[in-house]
A and B are shown apart, each in its own frame.
Chain A
Amino acid sequence: MANAFSNLPGRAQFAAAGAGLAVQNRFASDGSKGKVANTLFLALMLLALTVAITAIVAILAWAFVEGRTRLDGDLIFNGPSTVNRATAGYSVAILGTLQIIGGVIALIIPLGAGAALYLEQFADKTKWWNRVIELNIQNLAGVPSIVFGILGLAFFVRGPFSWGLVAAAGSATVALLVLPTVILASREAIKAVPPSILEGSLALGATRWQAVWRQVLPAAAPGMLTGVILAVSRAIGEAAPLLLVGALTFVTFAPNFFDGGYSALPVLIYNYAGRPQEEFQILAAAGVLLMLAVLIVINSFAIWLRARSERSW
């Protein structure tokens, strides 16, 4: 019997052949049974992906079919109204969202960039408090958004800041919610800058801050900006925490940042959707379309920015 083990003495041949077969069986490959299993599994995986992608399409399609009749100027320029149902719009909520996002950006850029720079370039990684800070940020990224709403309620609406149910409270609450992801994304951007850039700067006699501010930060800036944009994109769609800090009130006039009631786009959508009249349900779907349109624009910009900054070092 000529086989791979012919040069071994008798008993050893058996043992070797047996061992070989055992291993082969473990990974017994394509007989016809194997081929069928492979194809079936591939089909299953592609089915899974299809289901996920179909869900996306279904959501978009539903919003479009349901809301397309209200894609008009009134949607953006008219304020909310319970009386003029057919022409009610989101103007107040759009302004509210703009104010909230303005505040969010103003907070997350210095706080996010600062924390990321500190952790990546200035912190002594052996000191325990720096590890506590890192772990803390990781944990905050997983806290449910509604808990941030409770934080906002206790600290910004009441408590130490006591601003009341105003847009500033909503803005600060959402800013803190997205801050951990901004810090994490900024850290990645800073880490991606080759250390030779920092070394080269220091070797010229620059201080650490000079090297970071003039070389590392500009090199990391596109990546950090992308992180900020993605955080803003998330902030626009957040409704849960805002419910707790006063955005649910049905406001019909333009908000003032520190004074008076306010609303936000996703919250007003939720508000309209909860009303029984069909016009409001259509309006809710149209609001969804509006929100999605804004998000598509913002995310496309972020993708473009990311592609543009993909330079070869």
Chain B
Amino acid sequence: MSSSVMSERSSSLRTLRSDNPRYGEKAIFAFLFFTAAVSVAVTTAIVLALFQPLPGFFAEISIVEFFTATEWSPGYARPIYGVWPIVVGTMIVVVTALLVAIPLGLLSAIYLSEYAPNAVRKTIKPVLEILEGIPTVATGLFAFFWLRPFLEYMTPWLPWGGLFSTGVAGIAVGLIIVPLIASVADDAMRSVPRALREGAYALGASRLRVALQVVVPAAFSGIIAAFVLGASRAVGETMIVLLVAGAGSPTLNFNPFEGVQTMTAYIASRATGEIAVGSLVYDTIFAVGALLFLITLAMNMIAIRFVARFREVYE
């Protein structure tokens, strides 16, 4: 065998220069880079789509009116283009959603991270995620056809008005962001080093105290990030608010018991309505869309900063 090995070697002998230019692999590398760059193209396209009609739009509509007027009536005979009414609609939904999701999500997260035995944790986490995975049109229908009548039945003394309720929409949105908040907060708490917990246990602290006085404060930035991400998701929700919060009225309305239109619902209803492409009213889709995009972008970047700060400390 040694002679065959030797002769094979002497023929290939030992040149260390490349024996083929591998153009195929260079092409593959270019393809891979291209696929990664697609994401950049998508962002560019989104930004273009949203912002390109804006100079034309704000040439006709005063930007001051857009940001300060308190009536939103683009299709009307004497239209006013003040964006606050639909921003308020979004805000009602988000605030209600957080009021529901923060307690439910944080408590679930503390349980999963500090109390649950491993087997329980492994079952509950995926189950919670079902709540997030149910298509929002289904959750919206449930909220409209069952949740709202049920809540009204249970609390007839509250000032329910009409068919739509922004507050109930907020509750439904809150329910679907519980898994998100729970899982990000849970990750944050689980990243807190065991040594911190063990030190407290060694001093005789109960599990409750360790959870609330050691782990939660230590995971604080991560938990805040969870809330911000949840809020961002709530801002962007469309189907539930379309079905449950309805179209509202053109003027400011802070009443959660009535239907108030959100930014997302406005975009959806305007784009599926009968309006002329390129008209001023049509362009409100992009103006509101751009505002929505900027708000969620800001929230996501804040959340990322919080996560980064958290990681700095513990990793």
Contacts and interface: CB of A to CB of B under 8 A. Distances in A.
Interface of A: 23-24, 26-27, 29-30, 34, 37-38, 41-42, 44-49, 51-53, 55-56, 58-59, 62-63, 66, 110-115, 117-119, 122-123, 132-133, 136-140, 142-151, 153-155, 158-159, 176, 179-180, 183, 207, 209, 233-234, 236-240, 243-244, 248, 266, 269-270, 273, 281, 284-285, 288, 291-292, 295, 299, 303
A269 B137 CA distance: 8
Contact of A150 (B35, B205, B267, B296): B267
Contact of B131 (A27, A42, A52): A52
Contact of A144 (B111, B141, B292): B292
B271 A56 contact: no
Nearest to B53: A154
Contacts of A66: 145
B96 interface: no
A138 B272 contact: no
Interface stretch (B3-11, B41-49, B251-259): B41-49
A161 to B, nearest CB: 11
Contacts of B146: 58, 62
Contact of A244 (B38, B233, B272): B272
Contacts of B232: 142
Given A27-B203, A49-B111, A144-B296, A236 B135 contact: yes
B33 A233 contact: no
Q: Which 3 A-B pairs have the closest CB atoms?
A: A144-B236, A237-B135, A114-B35
16 contacts: A29-B206, A62-B146, A133-B39, A138-B300, A140-B42, A143-B297, A144-B293, A145-B236, A147-B50, A147-B292, A150-B50, A150-B285, A207-B22, A209-B25, A209-B28, A270-B239
B183 interface: no
B289 A147 contact: yes
B200 interface: yes
B207 A146 contact: no
Given A110-B35, A150-B285, A291 B131 contact: no
Interface in B121-166: 124, 126-128, 130-131, 133-139, 141-142, 144-147
Contacts of B50: 147, 150
A56 B239 contact: no
Contact of A288 (B141, B200, B285, B293): B141
B175 A55 contact: yes
B87 interface: no
B46 A115 contact: no
A136 B40 contact: yes
Interface string B267-286: 11001100001000000011
B209 interface: yes
Counting chain B CB atoms within 10 Å of each CB, the highest count among A45, A53, A291 belongs to A45
A23 B204 CA distance: 10
Nearest to B299: A142
Interface in B194-226: 200, 203-209, 213
B238 A144 contact: yes
A234 B204 CA distance: 47
B10 to A, nearest CB: 18
A273 B243 contact: yes
Contacts of B145: 62, 66, 281, 285
B36 A150 contact: no
Contacts of B286: 150
Given A158-B277, A266-B137, 17 more contacts: A49-B108, A49-B128, A53-B127, A63-B141, A110-B35, A132-B40, A133-B40, A138-B300, A140-B39, A142-B232, A149-B271, A151-B49, A153-B49, A266-B239, A270-B242, A273-B243, A295-B135
A180 B41 CA distance: 13
B206 A38 contact: yes
Nearest to B210: A27
B141 A285 contact: yes
A151 B39 contact: no
A148 B49 CA distance: 10
B243 A270 contact: yes
B229 interface: yes
Contacts of A176: 42
B45 A151 contact: yes
Contacts of A42: 111, 115
Given A37-B208, A48-B111, A146 B267 contact: yes
Contacts of B208: 34, 37-38, 41
Interface centre among A144, A153, A269, A303 (most CB of B within 10 A): A144
B49 A115 contact: no
A154 B54 CA distance: 13
B25 A240 contact: no
A146 B134 CA distance: 18
Among B50, B213, B242, B271, which residue has the most Cβ atoms of chain A within 10 A?
B271
B135 A266 contact: yes
B92 interface: no
A117 B36 CA distance: 9
Nearest to A244: B271
Contacts of A147: 46, 50, 236, 289, 292-293, 296
B105 to A, nearest CB: 8
Nearest to B304: A138
Contacts of B124: 49
B36 A56 contact: no
Contact of B36 (A119, A148, A207): A119
Given A56-B127, A66-B145, A142-B232, A30 B206 contact: yes
